[in-house]
Structure formats: C-alpha cells, structure tokens
Amino acid sequence: MRPGMGGWGCLLLTVAEATLVLLTRPPGSWGVHIIGGHEVVPHSRPYMASVHFRGQHHCGGFLLHAQWVVSAAHCFRNRDPLEGLVVLGAHDLQAPEPTQQVFSIKQAFIHPNYQPSSHANDICLLKLNSSAVLGGEVGLLKLPQKGSRQPKAGALCRVAGWGFRSDFEDPPPALMEAEVRVLGLDACNSSWCGQLSPAMLCTRSGDNQRRGFCTADSGGPLVCGSRAHGLVSFSGFWCGDPKYPDVYTRVSAFVTWIRGVVRKDLRGTTTAPCPGPPGPFQVLAAHCPGGTLRPREGAVGTPRPYTCVSPHASRTPTTPGPELGPP
Ligand SMILES: *[C@@H]1O[C@H](CO)[C@@H](O)[C@H](O)[C@H]1NC(C)=O
Ligand SMILES: *[C@@H]1O[C@H](CO)[C@@H](O)[C@H](O)[C@H]1NC(C)=O
C-alpha cells in the first residue's frame, strides 16, 4: 500500500503508450530520450538494432544471431511487424552511414504469453530477410547463461537507445547510453503497487540524478557485464522518475524459449516454420487489414476480445475480431 497515490499512480504504461499521452501535453515539459546518459563512441555497441516503421525509428533491439534480433513485444502492438525494417551498424540514424545494413522482417515471433495489460512476457524475436554481415560495426550480444541468477541489486548495467528527445520527429544526435543500477524486484514491486511479475528486472539511477530509458528505447538491451539481461519494457509517466523505477523484461527467463524458436527454425523443418501459437498482432494483422484493433467495449479479462475498426468505417466498429490472448 502506498499513501498519496496520484491519478497516475501505478498505471502500467509502456514507453510507447506514454508517448501518446505525453504528446497531448505541452512540449518542453519532459525529457524524452535516454535520461541522464551520453552519446556512445560510434559503433562501440555493434549489437544495437533500430526497428523502423515508415522510415522512422520506433524501437530498439539487439542482434542475437546474424539473422535474429530480440526486441519487445509491445513494439508491435497494432502494427504489422512485416512492415518494419531493422537497421544494424548505425550510430546516427539520420546520417547516410556506409556501416548501416538494412533488413526487412521476414517473421516475427511475439511471445505466446505476452500480456499487454500487465506487460508480462514482453519479448519478441524478429527473423531478418537475410543474414547480417558481421564485423566491427555489426556484432552479436549474448544471452545470459541459462538458469543464471539475475544481476544482484546494486549491480551496474547500461542501457542504450535512440529514444526521441521530445516527440517522434526529434531524434537524439546519435546512439545514447546511460549507466544504471539494478534494483531488487521486491522494492521495485512495491513502488509499482505489487503489479510486477517474476520475469521482470528493474533499475534505478543509483544517485539523485534521473537516469534511465524513455520513449522509443523500448526493446533495447540492458547489458550487465557482457550479456543482455534486460529488454526495455515500461516506466513511469515521467521518464527517469525515481518513484517508478524502469522495468525490463528479464531475459534469463526466456533463454529456453528463444533458443527453441531459433533452433527449430535453423533446423529447417520440412513444413513452413511454425511460430507456435500466434501472438496478438499476428492474429490481428490477419483479420484486420489496414484497420486498427481496439479492445471490444465492455470486455474484461484475458483473453480480451478485440474489434477491428476499419479505416473506411464511418464511425462504429465493424467486424468482430478473434478472441486474443494466451492459448
Ligand atoms: C532484405 O530487405 C532489405 C530491405 O527491404 C532489402 O534492401 C534487401 O534487398 C533484402 N535482402 C534480400 C536478400 O532479400
Ligand atoms: C508483487 O507484489 C504482489 C502483491 O504483493 C504479489 O502478488 C506479486 O507476486 C509480486 N510480484 C513479484 C514479482 O514478486
């Protein structure tokens, strides 16, 4: 129990969702980029991936294998992953850098138990249309060892991203990074009013500065030692707000799932690769061409029925959508 919770207290907002809210507020009243960080030495984080939609940076991710990128599931809510592009080898996304390699997304594997309402299992795997050429500017980042314990509270880690500075049209000069400290899950869970699930990891600045991630850093890795221990998932209404610590997907909990998806695919099964139960967007994309998915009015619980709102419909929702949620 926390006294004095304001209207925004313990609302679980993803950074992408927070942006939509923030955009309705006067500009200049918040800092929307990696908070309290610095520009990295160009190409010193060769595993960093930028996921683009319509020519604009949307989310981060990291390169796990020449043809596979790990990112956050919430990056693909209400978007068709197959319309996205993945840029590797970038430092300044606005510059025509010869080091950049651009890929389309051949397949997206949203975690089958991803729950948008609680942000549980906020992870996805993207299969690129071809293999990246690995070298000095494009390289891999390792997963935590299977079953390894999460970094201890107080451990120093770093989070990087091209998160925007004020809105979707104002990118940072180049890849930014902040050093943050792991916060124990129990302490973090109480800050978040007991809404966290076990496969999460939190960080704080570790001092009285605001430091952490913000909008469009989603999906990017939290690197502790030399491995990806977290994926940027959600934070408080104000980026870097110490009252609502940054929350990441705890990658070590998904090593088996990740390896399973990648191995099955590499083995090249005779039939078309099976992504397992479809994630929310895959179902939606199939049933809602060009439209927008909305939770059906009055619907509660999980799975939550969705409705496809056609862009051509004059006002009311049209086709009832499929039942969504974990199988
Ligand atoms: C992969 O996708 C990128 C971006 O759409 C494209 O430029 C490239 O030619 C594609 N590569 C292959 C091997 O299809
Ligand atoms: C967070 O706290 C709630 C309420 O006490 C509890 O039900 C939940 O299991 C906790 N989550 C974690 C990850 O410990």
Among 74, 91, 111, 229, the active-site one is: 74
**Is residue 307 included in any domain, yes or no?**
no
Query: pLDDT (tens digit, 9 = 90+) per residue, 283-296?
Result: 333 333 444 444 44
**Is residue 195 included in any domain, yes or no?**
yes
CA of 98 to the centre of ligand 1 (A): 16
**Is residue 84 included in any domain, yes or no?**
yes
First to last CA, the chain: 33
Question: What is the domain extent for residue 236?
Answer: 38-268
Among 131-135, 209-213, 256-260, the range scoring the smallest mean pLDDT is 209-213
Q: What percent of the chain has pLDDT over 70?
A: 69
> How many domains is the chain partitioned into structurally?
1
Query: pLDDT (tens digit, 9 = 90+) per residue, 175-216?
Result: 999 999 999 999 999 999 999 999 999 999 888 777 788 777
**Is residue 54 included in any domain, yes or no?**
yes
Angle at 303 between CA 299 and CA 305, to 5 degrees: 45
Q: What is the DSSP string of 85-125?
A: EEEES-SSTTS--TT-EEEEEEEEEE-TT-BTTTTBT--EE
**Is residue 220 included in any domain, yes or no?**
yes
pLDDT for 170: 56
- Residues 33-48: what's their mean pLDDT? 88
For ligand 2, whether the C-beta of 113 sits within 6 Å is no
pLDDT for 241: 77
pLDDT for 322: 39
Residue 16, C-beta contacts closer than 8 angstroms, at least 6 positions apart: 59, 74, 75, 77, 215, 216, 218
Residue 98, C-beta contacts closer than 8 angstroms, at least 6 positions apart: none
For ligand 1, whether the C-beta of 103 sits within 6 Å is yes
Which pLDDT band, with edges at 50, 70 and 90, does 38 fall under? confident
For ligand 2, whether the C-beta of 118 sits within 6 Å is no
**Is residue 19 included in any domain, yes or no?**
no
**Count of other CB atoms within 10 angstroms of residue 298:** 6
Indicate which CATH number applies to the domain containing 88.
2.40.10.10
